Homo-oligomer: A and B are copies of this chain.
Amino acid sequence: MARIVMKFGGTSVADLDRIHNVARHVKREVDAGHEVAVVVSAMSGKTNELVAWVQGMPKVTGANSPFYDAREYDAIVASGELVTAGLLAIALQSMGIDARSWQGWQIPIKTDNAHGAARILDIEGSEMIRRMGEGQVAVVAGFQGLGPDNRVATLGRGGSDTSAVAIAAAVKADRCDIYTDVDGVYTTDPRIEPKARRLKKIAFEEMLEMASLGAKVLQVRSVELAMVHKVRTFVRSSFEDPDAPGMGDLLNPPGTLICDEEEIVEQEVVTGIAYAKDEAQISLRRVADRPGVSAAIFGPLAESHINVDMIVQNISEDGSKTDMTFTVPSGDMEKALRVLEGAKEQVGFDVIQHETGLVKVSVIGIGMRSHAGVAASAFRALADKGINIKAITTSEIKISILIDGAYAELAVRTLHSVYGLDKK
């Protein structure tokens, strides 16, 4: 007997047939004698519909904010998950399984007050856990909890992953299964490199880098949470036959296990290649090289909610001036340029240069920590293909390289091959 949390995303519950299929996945685990909690997203498209309605309302005039009341936004967009939770409970009951739906405020899943992007503080799940112990399946509306103001708070887009991991931590689940429309985490995007392999296991830290860098399998926060609470998390497909051989395997179900690195016996040097499109690069030339100049540049950008990524500061030639280069999402570039022009006097630079249509390709692997030469291999391989590198940043387990967008696919395939990821 184990305790399992199963999470199903929007495409997995997109219509009544798929909800019924989800119920079959749940039944399999119940029939195997496990205690089960299920977390569901809204039917795919529903949350977008609700968000569009909010955005279709006239803007608040006057006041201090050009934004909507985030508490009302939350009350509106959280409604989609209530529907799927109820429908799945009914589908399970129709199969003779005791089940009930739980809304965030009923459990309650207590969050902070950051409506629209709330963090889970505590899950007071004693009643839910008691019922699970009696064999009742808990079907939980994902993406939401109850704020200190007694109002519904949502966890941000993709928040149902976070709901699932948080519940898994709260009920001390043996496993948290994230069912999605792909069957696991791959060494890179299979649409770019058909030789990409599904990973059997990936360490939390690696998955965190993969998720941050554009592999959209899991919400980044859910991986952070899984890492902190050491929740063994499986990424697996909801579209496989629920009763196919091996689907109910407790230790090795089909999919990718995200786990502590200690659980990964034969650690590869490089685990995967990720990429992020639509990057823009901004360079400030001949910036006065004095204390506080970074704050003068990045403070105003942060205040304007512009997400700055790779930052490269060159050593200045004569010690008085330096060049500062960084990337922002392409969509934010015009805004960033305006902010920087406004701060020109405080910063004291000569020229702004900028370039869009760039892509960031990243090599990720915990094994890098103990292996030299990983970066050098990447640079050599890209050079052999004539790909020019515009910027480089590195961390303990990651090398990120900024290149021209036209070379994105070539770079991904080249790096995927150079580390032998296309081989068994």
Contact = CB atoms under 8 A, between A and B. Distances in A.
Given A69-B90, A69-B93, A53 B151 contact: no
A219 interface: no
A148 B320 CA distance: 72
B151 A91 contact: no
B54 A69 contact: no
Contacts of A82: 75-76, 78-79, 82
A57 B101 contact: no
Contacts of A208: none
A90 B62 contact: no
B106 A86 contact: no
Contact of A90 (B63, B72, B94, B150): B72
B101 A60 contact: no
B50 A90 contact: no
A101 B72 contact: yes
B57 A87 contact: yes
A381 interface: no
Contacts of A59: 94
A79 B96 CA distance: 26
A58 interface: yes
A61 interface: yes
A336 to B, nearest CB: 29
A69 B19 CA distance: 17
Contacts of A85: 75
A60 B106 contact: no
A89 interface: yes
B56 A16 contact: yes
A52 to B, nearest CB: 10
Contacts of A20: 57-58
A83 interface: yes
Contacts of A94: 57-61
A68 B88 CA distance: 12
**Number of copies of this chain that the complex holds:** 2
Contact of A73 (B86, B95, B150): B86
A110 interface: no
Contacts of A91: 57-58
A103 interface: yes
A20 B57 CA distance: 8
A277 interface: no
Contact of A53 (B53, B68, B87, B100): B87
Interface string A378-418: 00000000000000000000000000000000000000000
Nearest to A76: B86
A344 interface: no
A95 B57 CA distance: 11
B86 A75 contact: yes
A101 to B, nearest CB: 5
A326 interface: no
B150 A96 contact: no
B61 A89 contact: no
Contact of A100 (B54, B57, B60, B71): B71
A298 interface: no
A105 interface: yes
A94 B90 CA distance: 39
Given A53-B87, A79-B79, A72 B96 contact: no
Interface of A: 16, 19-20, 50, 53-54, 56-63, 68-69, 71-73, 75-76, 78-80, 82-83, 85-87, 89-91, 93-96, 100-101, 103, 105-106, 150-152
Given A72-B100, A76-B87, 15 more contacts: A19-B57, A20-B58, A53-B83, A54-B87, A54-B90, A57-B90, A57-B91, A58-B91, A61-B95, A69-B100, A73-B90, A75-B85, A78-B82, A82-B82, A106-B151
13 contacts: A16-B53, A20-B57, A20-B58, A54-B86, A57-B90, A57-B94, A59-B94, A61-B95, A68-B90, A71-B100, A72-B86, A72-B87, A72-B93
Give the 3 A-B CB pairs with smallest separation, nearest first: A76-B86, A75-B86, A79-B79
